[in-house]
Structure 1
Amino acid sequence: MSNVKVKICGLSTEETMEAALEAGADMIGLMFFPKSPRHVSLSDASRLADMARGRAEIVAVTVDMDLDGLSRIKELVNPDIFQLHGSEAPEACAAVKVMQKTKVMKAVSISEKADLEKAHYYATVADWLLFDAKPPKDSEIPGGNGIAYDWTLLKDLDLGKPFMLSGGLDPSNVAEAIRLSGTKAVDVSSGVERERGVKDSNLIRSFMAAVREA
């Protein structure tokens, strides 16, 4: 039985939200980025967050959003964690924590060992770090591209803060990713979709089962 935490990200329907919660997801991610196929309106997000409240941690995923936008999400959705998935500086992460009174997860894009250096700056202010693959040059979205990287880069990494492995995970490879990286938390989005932006309840259940057996 694995004790690895799981975040199912980019949920947008009640059916798939319920599937994720019933399968035992520890965190659920709601996407607030209009260019993403997983973007949800504030009213939909509020309804989905109410389903999850008390059953899983609610993560609001934003990309270089201004403080007004973040405050609006806080007011209407009341997430437990803001995931900052853009080019936000460490100072911005600290400001979000103080002003929104939530935990902060900072996404860091990596493809080689040197990319981990910047993670140390964020580790001083963020509650969580999320390591995702660098997006393709032509991508309009910074995450959820279904790209994997060398998971062994994270082996024995100690930042003094918990970190999450993201990027290219699916039911068939998540156990291997956990083994190679030593991570205690994983994040999946495109790997549990039947088509771009459309989550599949069966794939969510399969992913959760694969993690539990890892």
Structure 2
Amino acid sequence: MPLKVKICGLINKDSVITSINGGASYCGFILNYPKSHRYIYDISKILYLNKINRKKCKLVAVLVNPTNADLNKLKSINFDYFQLHGEESAERIKEIKINHKIKIIKTIKIKKKNDINNYLQYQNIVDLFLFDSYGFEKSKKFNHSWLKSLSDSNIHWMLAGKIGIDNLEKVAKIAKIIDVSGSLEVNKKKDNKKITNFLNKVKKINYENKKKYSSN
């Protein structure tokens, strides 16, 4: 399976288009967390997302402990996933999934190795897990190798936490889907050159892996 990328915290249309054209599989938008410098204050500014080809890229609404009012504000955009980044219970997630008929990404925050097992309480509800550090806006690094035990599991998951072009090759040996944000920014804004360079490196890794496996 080739390495896939979710680029999170997108705001500007140019960066969204750059991400999609570069091969990002998921684009994430922070929609109810005003503390973030990536927060989108006016959802009407991203209505153009409804014209995005979903065969190329899935759209993710990133939410922190969303209220029903928060969720109802999103109805004008046909998101593919709600990413729940707060302390949502399994029951709350089930309610959201049923009421909004949408796939769910649940963030599992990792500080110590045993935290990985917190995904179990959501296992039969969530469509995709995101294993990330406790840092949220100030993403912190944790030992990504802790997740090697999940490589042969049946769960669908992605990895975040201080992932950048410098450690991409190492991370690609652990996860098949990665979530990146801060490493693609300059002065707290997404940088299209960084996005392009990162996605080109992903393509190179995928090409080399495909060539290696086809020769075996």
TM-score under structure 2 length normalisation: 0.88
- Residue in 1 that maps onto 2:98: 98
Secondary structure of the residue that 1:156 maps to in structure 2? helix
Task: Give percent identity, aligned residues only.
Answer: 29
State the Cα deviation string for residues 157-185 of structure 1 (Å, max 9, x = none): 15532100011111111221122xx2110
Asked whether 1:150 is paired with 2:158, we answer no
Match of 2:157 among 163, 166, 181: 163
- Residue in 2 that maps onto 1:122: 122
State the Cα deviation string for residues 122-155 of structure 1 (Å, max 9, x = none): 22210000011112xxxxxxx2423211010100
Matched-pair contact (CA < 8 Å) for 1:97–1:104: yes
- Residue in 2 that maps onto 1:204: 195
Separation in 1 of the partners of 2:66 and 2:169?
34
Secondary structure of the residue that 1:58 maps to in structure 2? strand
- Residue in 1 that maps onto 2:82: 82
Deviation of residue 116 (structure 1)? 1.0
Separation in 2 of the partners of 1:84 and 1:36?
15
- Residue in 2 that maps onto 1:186: 178
Deviation of residue 102 (structure 1)? 0.5
Which amino acid letter does the alignment assign opposite residue 14 of structure 1? K
Secondary structure of the residue that 2:104 maps to in structure 1? strand
Aligned length: 201
- Residue in 1 that maps onto 2:168: 174
Secondary structure of the residue that 1:105 maps to in structure 2? strand
Output aligned runs, 1:18-97, within 5 Å: 18-32=17-31, 33-40=33-40, 41-47=42-48, 49-54=49-54, 55-73=56-74, 75-97=75-97
Which amino acid letter does the alignment assign opposite residue 124 of structure 1? N
Higher Cα radius of gyration? 2
Matched-pair contact (CA < 8 Å) for 2:140–2:161: yes
Matched-pair contact (CA < 8 Å) for 1:105–1:128: yes
Separation in 1 of the partners of 2:4 and 2:92?
26
Separation in 1 of the partners of 2:82 and 2:158?
14
Which amino acid letter does the alignment assign opposite residue 211 of structure 1? V
Flag structure 1 segments of 5+ consecutive residues without an equivalent: 136-142
Separation in 2 of the partners of 1:18 and 1:78?
17
Output aligned runs, 1:123-138, within 5 Å: 123-135=123-135
Secondary structure of the residue that 2:39 maps to in structure 1? coil
Matched-pair contact (CA < 8 Å) for 2:50–2:78: no
Deviation of residue 210 (structure 1)? 2.0
Secondary structure of the residue that 2:166 maps to in structure 1? coil
Output aligned runs, 1:4-19, within 5 Å: 4-19=3-18
Flag structure 2 segments of 5+ consecutive residues without an equivalent: 206-216
Which amino acid letter does the alignment assign opposite residue 103 of structure 2? K
Deviation of residue 96 (structure 1)? 1.1
Secondary structure of the residue that 1:187 maps to in structure 2? strand
Q: How has the CA–CA distance of structure 1 residues 159 and 99 changed in structure 2, closer, same or farther, with 3 Å as cutoff?
A: farther
State the Cα deviation string for residues 7-56 of structure 1 (Å, max 9, x = none): 01111001111110110110100111211100112112323x23534231
Separation in 1 of the partners of 2:53 and 2:125?
25
Separation in 1 of the partners of 2:69 and 2:163?
33
